Structure 1
Amino acid sequence: MNYNRATKMEPILFQSVTVITGEEDATPFVADVLVKDGLIAHIGDPGTVESATARRIDGKGQYLSPGFIDMHAHSDLYLITSPAHEAKISQGCTTEVVGQDGISYAPVRTKEQLRAIRSQIAGWNGNPSDEECQTKHKGTGIFEWQTVGDYLDCLEQNKTATNVAMLVPQGNLRLLACGPNDTPASPAEIQDQVKLLKEAIGQGAVGMSSGLTYTPGMYASNSELAVLCKALADEYPGAFYAPHHRSYGFKALESYEEMLDLGKNTRCPIHLTHATMNFSENKGRAPELLQMIDGALGSGVDVTLDTYPYLPGCTMLAALLPSWASEGGPDETLKRLGDAKVRDKIQVAVEVTGCDGGHGIPTNWDEIQIGSTQHEALDGYAGRRVAEVARSLGKPAMEVFFDILVKDRLATSCLLHIGHEENVRAIMKHEKHMSGSDAILHGETLHPRAYGTFTRYLGHYARDLGMFTIPQMMAHLTSRPAKRLNVYPFRGHVGVGSAADLVLFDPETIQDMATFEQPKLTSKGINFVLVNGVVAVDAGKLTGARGGHVLRRKEDGTVGSGKV
């Protein structure tokens, strides 16, 4: 695999393909489609489109659709360290939104802040050393940025496999303005956050995210968040707020209501990210959430939502700690984990009363699966439930939890088996629903959504279960997110003049293959993927080409490639 492969662009003529435009309830039609200079140049009846220089691809019986858009991606570092980006490209994803859950690598003001963030989210993205970045990964300028603009420039300089848009992580804003501690933000600190937000939007960010179960963003009050949302609404049309809510377990509906109220009171568009209803307390309660969303829509709030088509969730194992145990950053957290008295206090919060890190519900260790680990002493733990490891060692589960966090310096991921199929199905039927993988890509023990989100929607829920037609589901994956990102109809649409972000797939065989046991199996049925006209999957094989563009918000509110 050649990661330095040139982004070769050649004319391509797809012949006799069944075109799915991406529109709501679009009627498929058979056509020839010519791609030239990164754009869709011509669409005509079969046999009527000519090009002497184009490569011809017989697409009879196959569907040609827009490239899929991931509204919730954690590829912030992976785009550079693993530039072929097999996980997303192999399933037809051509555009991603990073900067999710309120914490990412920019903006920062000091190297110490960046170091702390790298440690905190190592469970999501790993934490390669500066030397590894320059030698093993051969990326240019990794971790040398400060602003969102600097980070986007770094992506552009290194070239990416997918198109990339970014949200401003609210946790970063709070870290820079208030530090890593659980303290109320002063008026001056709130205005500092507003200033940082405006700078980031001015550099091309398309909106703001928050992670209200992750430190330090979770320390923000709703009134603090409202000031930031109002700044977005008043000055940046089309920019949106994507909250990871304060709870997806105990009082989950109240947490959703808080965010919808922010949209109502500030007029800021709200995108409910990974809009799940998890834990036994919420089984069968998705209709209540959807009724709440419909009420907000009826009152004029601009609301959209995304989900992943699986039951388990995935995050950092350290996220299960109570927020007070994580106050001050990773170094302070590790100090607390070395104190026996503090451990006792944490145990009560996690296992008895339920804490904010566990969404207000006592943790059931049979539901927590260990993901990717870093320390060699933990090699045999990956893929196993915490309770299972504890039983095999003859130790309390809480002791195993602490031991993993300390040995791995908080860099462990985990899977949470807490979802409900009836909720997943109900939520994906909503008219404002769209796709978001929420996929951690680092390590070997992954959630299968990293490799299978989009093909699972099409193969399992649309074709096999018949919940949607494939054209209906296609809108969830393409035109709906493109409209939210303000890149439609240039992206998320098959039409003359649109970007050649395209997927050619077999509707009879398209299927996710990744499982919890083998999470890196690539999907079936994806035959060609183009990103801005560059072939990223050729006859089912990854090319390693990097045809993606960095997508920045412009002064007029549109989003596209090139400088602001």
Structure 2
Amino acid sequence: MADVGVDGGRIVGVGRGRGARRVVDGDGLVLAPGFIDMHAHSDLALLRDPSHEAKAAQGVTLEVLGQDGLSYAPADDRTLSEIRTQIAGWNGDGSDIAFDWRTVGEYLDRLDRGIAVNAAYLVPQGTVRMLALGWEDRPATDKELARMKELVARGLEEGAVGLSSGLTYTPGMYASDAELTELCRVVAGYDGYYCPHHRSYGAGALRAYEEMLTLTERAGCALHLAHATMNFPENEGRAPQLLALLDAALARGADVTLDSYPYLPGSTTLVAMLPSWAAVGGPDATLARLRDDATAARIRHAMEVEGADGSHGVPVDWSAIEIAGVGDRSLAAHVGRRVPDFATARDLLIRDRLATTILQHVGHEENVRAIMRHPVHTGGSDGILHGDKPHPRAYGTFPEYLGRYVRELGVLTLEECVAHLTGRPAARLRLPDRGLIREGYRADLVLFDPATVASGATYDRPRVLPTGIPHVLIDGRFVIEDGRRTDALAGRSVRRTPRRG
């Protein structure tokens, strides 16, 4: 037991708090650093919804945006229009947002006008490739590669903490290992990290993990494996093989971390499951292919027989696909239903202009538990806040860890879990003053009750807020007080910290 003093947005004393203007009684509660969501899709939600209760109520004080190689900066008018269509299933089409930025720095400046929680940003490699050579499935020329390296360097100079990729998403998946290695060398020069959604979470998962380890070691770049799962029937019980690859890399001196969410299903857009050749040319070209019967038949064969690259090399099991959200309100009756066949999926994609979001019921509990125990593991929600029936991880990841996997199942001790959610991700982000309760550190803090903390979100009711988290402070200001959201917009962009020495 100890008092913690806070003043001016900083922790000013640990073990002494007398003489404070206000005292919060934390008897029976745990005081922890604010939780860091290492994989968030709140790129527009933070601008759209000032309260952002989905994350603030969980004790999240910092999110990492720009994930999976697809986000809204850097961009020009052409690519901004294309990216808004491509990831409308993640964030909506953005028709309610004033896109008054084009560069990474301008996007971070926009966040600095006032947001609910802090946010860091990864330069999205797919968006960068879109800017340099469009949607073509071919190697980049020397000139195009130089442009991409320049765009990545500029984003890092403007405050991004690293580079992300979505290597089952177009156009990022068209990049070769050699191209990615060159971009990672740029990232390494800025002491950032590479965060790939790698080339397969299904049939080729272990090869895909090994590819990323080899690539980043060659580039001398730190690696953070995004939503590091082992999904689909092919990978049941194979988490130990992934962790053996990870341990071997760590033994070689590699700088590697990972994140995961404490749930079995995944979530993405329905269009992401198509073979990559169907997306060459961009969203309008994809829709044209879907409308053509002969081409649609080829797409169906690739998905159902071959196992398309967008479907992780696994033939699609439509019974495992559930509609989580639609862009066109006239299609709302599909939400919550399983997709019966390709014909239904095709019709939805065309009518919804690719904006359909899905849940994939493909996970394995033993893999989830094994991966979260690893000492370089961190927490990431991968939370998609858009849609009528989003994955409950968006509202429940952090209390789910503390309530279910600590208190109920004992998979992690409380102390271990807090480290996974706070100090370890702060170290990955190279943040010198976050992630610990220490004098001089930022007063991003959460008080929770270890006996009652729990996620309220379920698959049937995914937007229910958690319980057992009465107080959350960001920069010393209450954003959650006595279990209620205040009107404070205490968050700002958290920009890359230059290497010292």
TM-score range, shorter chain: over 0.9
Q: Residues 503-522 of structure 1 correspond to what in structure 2 (within 5 A)?
A: 503-522=446-465
1:51 aligns with 2:19: yes
SS at match of 1:223: helix
Q: Distance in 1 between matches of 2:80 and 2:101?
A: 9
| 1:25 aligned partner | none
8 Å Cα contact 1:76-1:104 kept in structure 2: yes
Q: Once the two structures are superposed, what CA deviation does each residue of 1:99-127 show, in whole Å capped at 9, x if it has no partner?
A: 0000100001x212100000000000001
Once the two structures are TM-superposed, the CA of residue 557 in structure 1 deviates from its matched residue by: 6.2
- TM-score under structure 1 normalisation? 0.87
Give the alignment partner of residue 231 of structure 1, picking from 161, 171, 186. 186
Structure 2 residue identity aligned to 1:79: L
- Check if 1:100 corresponds to 2:53: no
Using the TM superposition, give the Cα deviation of residue 267 of structure 1 relative to its aligned residue in structure 2, in angstroms: 1.2
Could you tell me which of 114, 117, 127 is aligned with 2:83?
A: 117
- Does 1:31 find its partner at 2:20? no
1:147 corresponds to 2:103: yes
Query: Distance between the aligned counterparts of 2:216 and 2:374, measured in 1?
Result: 19
Candidates 249, 258, 262, aligned match of 2:211: 258
Identify which of 287, 292, 314 aligns with 1:339: 292
Distance 1:541 1:428 in 2: 30
Of 383, 395, 399, the residue aligned with 2:336 is: 383
Structure 1 pair 469/554, CA: closer, same or farther in 2 (3 Å)?
closer
2:428 corresponds in structure 1 to 484
SS at the partner of 2:2?
Answer: strand
Matched with 2:229 is 276
- Runs in 1 of length 4+ with deviation above 4 angstroms? none
- Mapped contact 1:319–1:357 kept (Cα < 8 A): yes
- Kept in 1: contact 2:89–2:387 (CA 8 A): no
**Separation in 2, partners of 1:451, 1:376:** 23
Match of 1:427 among 371, 394, 418: 371
Partners of 1:377 and 1:364 in 2: how far apart? Answer: 26
**What CA distance in whole angstroms lies between the structure 2 residues aligned with 1:313 and 1:557?**
39
Q: For the Cα contact (< 8 Å) 1:263–1:302, is it kept in 2?
A: no
Q: Which amino acid aligns with 1:171?
A: G
Q: Deviations over 1:413-441 (max 9, x none)?
A: 10000000000000011110000100101
Amino acid at match of 1:145: W
Contact 1:202 1:555 in 2 (8 A): no
Deviates more, 1:56-65 or 1:472-481: 56-65
> 2:121 is matched with which residue: 166, 182, 186?
166
Given that 1:264 and 1:300 are in contact with CA atoms closer than 8 Å, whether structure 2 keeps it comes out as no
Structure 1 CA distance for aligned equivalents of residues 50 and 282 of structure 2:
30
Cα distance between partner residues in 2 of 1:193 and 1:112: 17
2:403 matched to which residue of 1?
Answer: 459
CA RMSD of aligned residues (A): 1.2
- Asked if the contact 1:226–1:266 (Cα under 8 Å) also holds between the matched residues in 2, the reply is yes
Conserved in 2, the CA contact under 8 Å of 1:371 and 1:413?
yes
1:38 CA displacement: 0.9
Give the CA deviation at 1:275: 0.5
Cα deviations across residues 383-422 of structure 1 (Å, max 9, x unaligned)?
A: 11112xxxxxxxxx11110111111101111000000000
Measured against aligned partners, the alpha-carbon deviations of 1:322-364 in whole angstroms (never above 9, x if no partner) come to 1111111111111111111111111101111110011001110
> Which amino acid counterpart does residue 172 of structure 1 have in structure 2?
T
**Secondary structure at 1:192's aligned position in 2?**
helix
Which residue of the other structure, out of 209, 218, 221, is the alignment partner of 2:164?
209
Contact 2:88 2:327 in 1 (8 A): no
Can you list the C-alpha shifts for 1:519-551, whole angstroms capped at 9, x where unaligned? 011111000000111111010011132101211
Aligned to 1:5: none
Query: Please, which moves more after superposition, 284-293 or 372-381?
Result: 372-381
Amino acid in structure 2 at the alignment position of 1:177 = A
Query: Displacement of 1:510 after TM fit?
Result: 0.3
Shift of 1:83: 1.6
What is the CA deviation profile of residues 284-342 of structure 1, one whole-angstrom value per residue up to 9, with x for unaligned ones? 00000000011111111111000000000000111111111111111111111111111
- What is the distance in 2 between the residues matched to 1:374 and 1:51? 54
For 1:553, what is the secondary structure of its paired residue? Answer: coil
Q: Is the 8 A contact 2:47 2:111 kept in 1?
A: yes
Q: Which runs of 5+ in 1 are unaligned?
A: 1-29, 134-141, 388-396, 559-564
For 2:326, the equivalent position in structure 1 comes to 373
**Alignment CA distance shift 1:172-1:248 (3 Å):** same
* TM-score with structure 2 setting the length: 0.98
5 Å-filtered alignment, 1:14-29, equals none
Out of 194, 200, 203, the position equivalent to 2:149 is 194
Count of aligned pairs between the two proteins: 501
The one-letter code matched in structure 1 to 2:19 is: S
Which among 265, 285, 291 is matched to residue 238 of structure 2?
A: 285
Q: In the alignment, residue 29 of structure 2 is paired with which amino acid?
A: Q
Q: 1:204-263: per-residue Cα shift (whole Å, max 9, x none)?
A: 001000000001000000000011111222x212x0000101000011100000000012
Amino acid at match of 2:453: I
Q: Does residue 1:84 correspond to 2:55, yes or no?
A: no
Q: Gaps (5+ residues) in structure 2? A: none
How many Å separate the matches in 2 of 1:88 and 1:112? Answer: 32
